[in-house]
Amino acid sequence: MSTKTAGLIIIGDEILSGRTLDKNTQTIATRLSEIGIQLRQVQIIPDVIDTIIETVKHFSPAYDYVFTTGGIGPTHDDKTAEAIAKAFHVDLVKHPDAYATLVDHYEGEENLNEGRIKMTMIPNGATLIDNPVSAAPGFKIQNVHVMAGVPNIMKGMLDNVIPTLEGGEIIKTRSIIVHKKESEIAALLQKTQEDYPQVDIGSYPRYVEGRHEVSIVIRGADEGLIESIEKRIRDKTN
Amino acid sequence: MSTKTAGLIIIGDEILSGRTLDKNTQTIATRLSEIGIQLRQVQIIPDVIDTIIETVKHFSPAYDYVFTTGGIGPTHDDKTAEAIAKAFHVDLVKHPDAYATLVDHYEGEENLNEGRIKMTMIPNGATLIDNPVSAAPGFKIQNVHVMAGVPNIMKGMLDNVIPTLEGGEIIKTRSIIVHKKESEIAALLQKTQEDYPQVDIGSYPRYVEGRHEVSIVIRGADEGLIESIEKRIRDKTN
Residues A155 and A225 in one domain: no
CATH number at residue A65: 3.40.980.10
A92-94 and A172-178 beta bridge pairing: unpaired
State how far residue B127 is from chain A, nearest Cα, in angstroms: 23
Rounded-to-integer distance, Cα A70 and Cα B191, Å: 22
Q: Can you list the alpha helix ranges (DSSP code H) found in chain A?
A: 13-16, 24-34, 49-59, 80-87, 96-105, 114-118, 151-161, 182-195, 223-237
Residues A83 and A193 in one domain: no
Check if B225 contacts A (Cβ < 8 Å): no
The torsion defined by the Cα of B60, B61, B63 and B67, in degrees rounded to 10, comes to 0
Residues B144 and B178 in one domain: no
Cα–Cα nearest to B40, from B82, B89, B85, B4? B4
Check if B5 contacts A (Cβ < 8 Å): no
- DSSP for B110-123? GG--HHHHHTTEEE
Cα–Cα nearest to A70, from A86, A83, A89? A83
Contacts of B77 in chain A (CB under 8 A): 189, 193, 200-203
Count of domains observed in chain B:
2
Give whole-number Cα distances, B88 to A30, A66, B84, in Å: 34, 31, 6
Distance between terminal CA atoms of chain B? 37
Q: So what's the pLDDT on residue B1?
A: 63
Query: Is the Cβ pair B18, A38 closer than 8 Å?
Result: no
**Phi, psi (deg, nearest 5) at residue B114:** -60, -45
Task: Among B164, B192, B216, give the residue marking a domain's end.
Answer: B164
pLDDT of B24 above 90: yes
Of the candidates A19, A43, A150, which has its C-beta nearest B41's C-beta? A43
Average pLDDT over residues B172-192: 94
Q: What is the ipTM of this complex?
A: 0.94
Q: Are B80 and B70 in contact (CB under 8 A)?
A: yes
Give whole-number Cα distances, B193 to A103, B188, B198, in Å: 27, 9, 9
Rounded-to-integer distance, Cα B18 and Cα A25, Å: 7
Residues A15 and A130 in one domain: yes
Q: So what's the pLDDT on residue B132?
A: 95
Residue of A nearest to B20 (CA): A26
Task: Among A145, A164, A183, give the residue marking a domain's end.
Answer: A164
Cα–Cα nearest to A173, from A234, A225, A208, A232? A225
Residue of A nearest to B5 (CA): A16
Question: Which A positions 36-75 lie with beta carbon below 8 A of chain B?
Answer: 38-47, 73-75
Taking only the tens place, the pLDDT of each residue in B44-59 is: 999 999 999 999 999 9
Taking only the tens place, the pLDDT of each residue in B69-120 is: 999 999 999 999 999 999 999 999 999 999 999 999 999 999 999 999 999 9
Q: Count interface pairs A-B at CB distance under 8 A.
A: 203
Residues A184 and A159 in one domain: no
Query: Is the Cβ pair A74, B186 closer than 8 Å?
Result: yes
Residues A9 and A36 in one domain: yes
Of the candidates A18, A21, A202, which has its C-beta nearest B77's C-beta? A202
Residue B104: partners with Cβ closer than 8 Å, 6 or more residues away:
B135
Q: Are A23 and A151 in contact (CB under 8 A)?
A: yes
Residues B89 and B108 in one domain: yes
Q: Are A143 and A61 in contact (CB under 8 A)?
A: no
Query: Is the Cβ pair A16, B38 closer than 8 Å?
Result: yes
**Domain range for residue B222?**
172-237
Residues A134 and A199 in one domain: no
Q: Walk along chain A (238 residues) in steps of 10 and give the mean pLDDT of each run.
A: 91 96 98 96 98 98 98 96 98 97 95 95 98 95 98 97 95 93 94 95 88 93 95 93
State how far residue B110 is from chain A, nearest Cα, in angstroms: 13
State how far residue A124 is from chain B, nearest Cα, in angstroms: 23
Residues B142 and B45 in one domain: yes
Strand partners, B69: B10, B147
Q: Are B191 and B199 in contact (CB under 8 A)?
A: no
Cα–Cα nearest to A7, from A57, A50, A48? A57
Of the candidates A19, A116, A171, which has its C-beta nearest B217's C-beta? A19
Task: Among B139, B164, B189, give the residue marking a domain's end.
Answer: B164
Residues B30 and B139 in one domain: yes
Q: Are A182 and A51 in contact (CB under 8 A)?
A: no
Query: Is the Cβ pair B21, A23 closer than 8 Å?
Result: yes
Of the candidates B26, B40, B44, which has its C-beta nearest A18's C-beta? B26
Check if B167 contacts A (Cβ < 8 Å): no
Q: So what's the pLDDT on residue B7?
A: 98
Other CB atoms closer than 10 Å to residue A33's CB: what's the count? Answer: 20
CATH number at residue B178: 3.30.70.600
Residues B138 and B214 in one domain: no
Residues A222 and A192 in one domain: yes
